[in-house]
Structure formats: C-alpha cells, structure tokens
Amino acid sequence: MADYSKFSDDQLLLALKHGDHRAFTQIYHRYFRLMAIQAEKILQQEEAVYDLLQNIFTDLWERREQLLIHGSLKGYLHTAVRNGALNEIRLSKNHAAKLDLLIHYVLVEEPAADTLVRSKQLTEAINLEVAKLPERTREALQLSRDGGHSHAEIAQKMGISKSTVKTHINNALHQLAEKLSSFFIFLIIYILHR
C-alpha cells in the first residue's frame, strides 16, 4: 500500500481527481491545521471556522474532477479560506462583529503591499470616525483596541463597571459600522474579486 504522506501535492491532486479517498484524507491531514489557523485569524469564532473548513473540503471532494488549480494546492486552499471567511463576514448580520473582524483582518492579518494602501485608508477613515465618538465611548474603545486592555482593566481605569465598558465598546462599534459601512462594502468586494 502506498504511503500517501510521502506524495507531493501534485501527486495527491492527481489521485484526488481520480476519486482516491486516501489522497483526499492526506490533503485534509496535511492542510487542515494551517487552514484552521488562518480562518481563526479572520473569523475568530471556532464554530464558524469549522463550518467554513467543512464547506471547503466538501467542495474540494465534490468538484475534484473539475478542479483547475493554477499554482500550488496550498495557495488554492489559502485563497479558499480567505475568500470563504470574508464572504462569511460580508453575509453577517452583526455590523459590530463585521467591523471588528474586518479591522483586524485588514490591519493585522493581510500585510500584502496592496493591503498597506487599503489599511492606511482604513486607518484614516476609522480614526476620523473614532474622533467623533463621545469622549467616554472613545476612551473605552481606545483602551480596548489600542491599549489591549481587558474590560475589567478598562473598568478600573475609567472608574466604571465592566458592563458599562462593554456597552461603550459595543456602541462605538455599532456607530463605526454604520458610518463606515459603505467603505467596508467596497473593501470586501475588492478583496473577494482580486
């Protein structure tokens, strides 16, 4: 019996196209962890990560005969995770969660050269809107996002309760999502279609 762990990605893809379950299993074992880490950085929700990866691997198996991969299997799977995660964010009904995930993704997880331009524009747009927030709301948000403080630490610094901190931060994210929604719609469309 062949040792599939020694197969190259190209050999695994060829076997997969012929319906080889063991090749599919090897691809899964070889790339699942890397894909999960990447998806977690974007989605930050374990359940959403596993749903996304299940969809990607199901699609990989169902479309195995028609697969046209230009480049590497690793690159193909990386793109599938990125596009699937961003599509999940785009379809999300929670504007505050969308904003938070997109800010994190664009500023932290996607440091490509063309993203630096977008991140500068995004940073400027966010900073402009953050400056318009009420003083206490802005302070709580900045301590959370820029300072990396927990809600308990912010509550202690500001002399308010943790639930008030949470309310301030949620209000800030909702206001920012509302003000920046058109910017993010454009950004998501750009990322998904490049």
56 Cβ contact partners less than 8 Å away, ≥ 6 residues apart? 35, 77, 80, 81, 84
pLDDT-based confidence at residue 194 (cuts at 50, 70, 90): very low
Output the CA torsion sign for 81, 83, 87, 89. Answer: positive
- State the pLDDT at residue 170: 79
| Averaged confidence pLDDT in the chain | 78
71 membership: H or E segment, kind and range: none
Residue 67 region by backbone torsions, left for phi larger than 0, else alpha for psi between -120 and 50, else beta: beta
Contact (CB, 8 A) for 48 and 88: yes
* CA dist., res. 141 & res. 30, Å (int): 39
Q: Please compute the mean of the pLDDT values over residues 154-168 and round it to a whole number.
A: 89
Kindly state the DSSP code that residue 92 receives in the 8-state scheme.
-
> SS3 of 10, please?
helix
- State the pLDDT at residue 147: 67
Give the chain's domains with CATH numbers: 7-91 (1.10.1740.10), 95-192 (1.10.10.10)
Question: pLDDT digit string (tens) for 38-97?
Answer: 888 888 778 888 889 999 999 999 999 888 888 899 999 998 998 888 777 766 655 555
* CA dist., res. 88 & res. 166, Å (int): 24
